[in-house]
Amino acid sequence: MMWKHKNTFAIGGLENVGYAPNQDFLIVVSSQGQAIFNCKTGEKIARKYDDLHWWAQFDQVNHTVTGFDFLSNIKIKLHGLHGNDNLPKTSQDNWSLVVSELEPDDKPFEKYSIKRFYLISPNKQEIKVIGKDGACELRALGFSDTGDTFIVALSCELMIYSRV
């Protein structure tokens, strides 16, 4: 497998995510403010405790927000609760991310229906479960413009993957 799970962050009230154009920096907008993550290293590198201040400068037509810290003055397209999840589902070298239909959860929770998230290799020989919803709702998943990282953003957590 060419991909490595870099980190998972618990983020209550996660609403939207967006990659900086042609970079592997991800902005996350939640009910608790904003954060920037380096998806190649899996580190949180900037934080802004502004609650819902971001909403005042959110472009609802283009679904963009202006970044902060070292991404200030950069327009970042958001995906998730406020706008469709239009992150790329296929990398340039044809790795793909797929969301299953509703299916039973693992035992002993099989009476609950969930969706699983799969990473599939270009030749379809490698299929790996990279996450699932359930108590937390899927907001967005997809690759960066560079194709070097991808994320799974749920309403309560963020999972970051990077090429090995």
pLDDT at residue 51, rounded to an integer: 61
**Number of domains observed in the structure of the chain:** 1
**pTM for the whole structure:** 0.94
Neighbours of 106 (CB within 10 A): 11
Integer Rg of the chain from CA: 16
Chain mean position to CA 58: 19
Q: How far, in Å, CA of 141 to CA of 77, rounded?
A: 14
Q: Per-residue pLDDT tens, the chain, 164 aa: give them.
A: 799 999 999 999 999 999 999 999 999 999 888 999 999 999 999 999 876 677 788 898 999 999 999 999 999 999 999 878 999 999 999 999 999 999 999 999 999 999 999 999 999 999 999 999 999 999 999 999 999 999 999 999 999 999 99
Quote the tokens at residue 145.
């413009």
The torsion defined by the Cα of 60, 50, 77 and 42, in degrees rounded to 10, comes to -160
Neighbours of 55 (CB within 10 A): 13
The pair phi, psi for residue 82, each rounded to 5°, is -110, 70
Q: How far, in Å, CA of 57 to CA of 33, rounded?
A: 13
Q: How far, in Å, CA of 94 to CA of 122, rounded?
A: 5
- Give the structural domain span for 115: 3-163
- 3-class DSSP state of 119: strand
Q: Are 11 and 26 in contact (CB under 8 A)?
A: no
